[in-house]
Amino acid sequence: DNLSRVCVVGASLGYPGDYEKGRKIYVNKHGFPKGTYFLSAGINVENNRMLTNGGRVFNIVGVGDDVIEARQSAMQAMACVTIEGNGLHYRTDIACRDIERMQQR
């Protein structure tokens, strides 16, 4: 489809070392750019609440016309997710090398 995609992993703070399970996950779906995917990984649902249940908790896939737009989409969506107790960790350098190579052309 000629679109680019960038995937960012949302992990529990402390992963891959010690991390806590059972922390509440809050998602503001209305802030997600159109076409962005939220894919669960280490999530448990209890009483209609999403809770952490692993180190790699979820993946967000941003979509765009190029890597720059896809990365912006993923990061905008990532900003709409929190884990109780400031328990979310994710890399902010995903796709940066690809963007640098694009800009050098």
Average pLDDT over residues 78-96: 93
> 38 has which bridge partners?
60
Predicted confidence band of residue 98 (pLDDT cuts 50, 70, 90): confident
Asked if the peptide bond before residue 33 counts as cis, ω within 30 degrees of 0, the response is no
- Provide the pLDDT for residue 70: 96
- Percent of the chain past pLDDT 70, that is, above it, reads 99
Looking at residue 33, the DSSP 8-state letter turns out to be P
Q: Which pLDDT tens digit goes with each residue over 33-63?
A: 999 999 999 999 999 999 999 999 999 999 9
- Distance (Å, whole) CA 54 – CA 23: 10
Above 90 in pLDDT, residue 94?
no
Output the CA–CA distances (angstroms, integers) from residue 74 to 4, 17, 69, 80, 81, in the order listed: 11, 25, 9, 10, 11
